[in-house]
Amino acid sequence: MVNKILILSVTVGTGHMRTAQALQKAAGDLCPGLEVTILDTFRYASPFVEKFVLGTYMQMLKISPAVYGFLYRQAERGQPLSGRGKFEFNRVMNMLAAPRLVKYIQSYQPDVIVCTHPFPLGIISFMKNKGLFTGPVFATITDFTIHSFWVFPEVDYYLVGAEQLIEQCEEFGLCREQVHFTGIPIDPAFSLPVNKKEQRARLGLEPDLPAVLITGGGLGMGGLEEAVLALGGPAANCQLMVVTGTNTLLKDRLEKNLQAFSSRVKVFGYVDNIHELMAAADLMVGKAGGLSCAEAMAAGLPVFVLDPLPGQEERNAEFLVSMEAGVRVKEQELADQVRAYLAQSSRFQAMARAAAALGRPRAAFDAVNIMVNDREASQVKCSES
């Protein structure tokens, strides 16, 4: 019987932690007696690792994204860093972070461990290999691609964001029975019905004017300001919702210049109601983070990916384009592209239908059900929400 689930995540960006929170929320709805704890792994186990590894990662994305993209590709399947480099990285992680994490897990005694980031997954795989944890381990992959850093023989189950990724998992040598297509777990609020016009009224938007959501993820990265400038003119014929995340400087700058825009522009900082903003929108412009893409598809929003970062964002963008649920655009082409799609309703509606067909608004519920109803993990049966 599953009584306790431990979710290990990492605060890098916001997507991995929000996936963890979505699982926790879904578990509370499905199984009220189930104890679900989220641990910010490096913050707890090794502040040095958090500061050095994650700090280096974020600086590389900001200053040298091309270098990060090169390293990411070199660590993909069959590339030089996918074997020995991965082994050495995880060896150092285990040396620095495993001792305190082992003590925590032995004290907490979870029945199931779930990882929403690959770094703690390497540590848990080490523990399972040494017999320090014997329960099921789940990897919840938070992008629309599979990377070698997620793959360990000690992991029991993989939860993936799209059916097409099952084949990628098999190419890594995983058994099909290990892989479950649930969708990337997102806030269960996405599974609730909404009325677009009512939602627009609550947000103070025009009921019949096309609404574009511009977002740079939780950190407000990417060409947000450029996108607002491109779409804020009179020719765009749309209204804008801009989510700047934790980027308060950008929020302040945009709010001070609202009068310069011909279009109606509403600026938000970090939000916990992104499902409501997406319900009011017709399309999304921004980054290709895995969670953001999953949320957009759950809301049936086509995604206009603006200059994705090298690495997983590029892979997510490739997935969206291949499934005709999004397009990649350059900054200088953004306004023309958006106008063209909004003007050609059949073309735009086809992309919206493709996005909705890929959407998995109940992904978090499906993931929790697999965790607690697996015959090796539990005999508990949860009710449908």
pLDDT in tens, 319-346: 999 999 999 998 888 888 888 888 888 8
Structure tokens at 62: 């900001």
Q: Which of 72-86, 97-111, 289-303 has the lowest mean pLDDT?
A: 72-86
pLDDT in tens, 339-368: 888 888 888 899 999 999 999 999 999 999
Please determine, for residue 128, whether its predicted confidence score (pLDDT) is greater than 70: yes
Angle formed by the axes of helices 345-358 and 334-343, to 10°? 100
DSSP state of 287: -
One-letter amino acid at 32 equals P
Q: What is the pLDDT of residue 246?
A: 83
Domain extents in the chain: 4-186+362-373, 189-358
Q: What is the pLDDT of residue 332?
A: 85
Structure confidence at residue 385 as a pLDDT band (50, 70, 90): very low
Taking a C-beta distance cutoff of 8 angstroms, is the pair 43, 8 a contact? no
DSSP state of 242: E
Q: What is the pLDDT of residue 73?
A: 76
Phi-psi region of 222 (alpha: psi -120 to 50; beta: other; left: phi over 0): left
Structure confidence at residue 44 as a pLDDT band (50, 70, 90): confident
Mean pLDDT of the chain: 86
Q: Is 0.85 topped by the overall pTM?
A: yes
Question: Do the two domains 4-186+362-373 and 189-358 of this chain adopt the same fold?
Answer: yes
What is the maximum span of the chain, computed from C-alpha positions, in angstroms?
Answer: 64
* Protein fold of 189-358: Rossmann fold (3.40.50)
Taking a C-beta distance cutoff of 8 angstroms, is the pair 2, 34 a contact? yes
Structure confidence at residue 72 as a pLDDT band (50, 70, 90): low
DSSP state of 384: P
Angle formed by the axes of helices 55-63 and 65-74, to 10°? 120
Q: Whole-angstrom Cα distance, residue 62 to residue 77?
A: 25
* Protein fold of 4-186+362-373: Rossmann fold (3.40.50)
Compute CA 277 distance to the chain's CA centroid, rounded to the nearest angstrom.
17
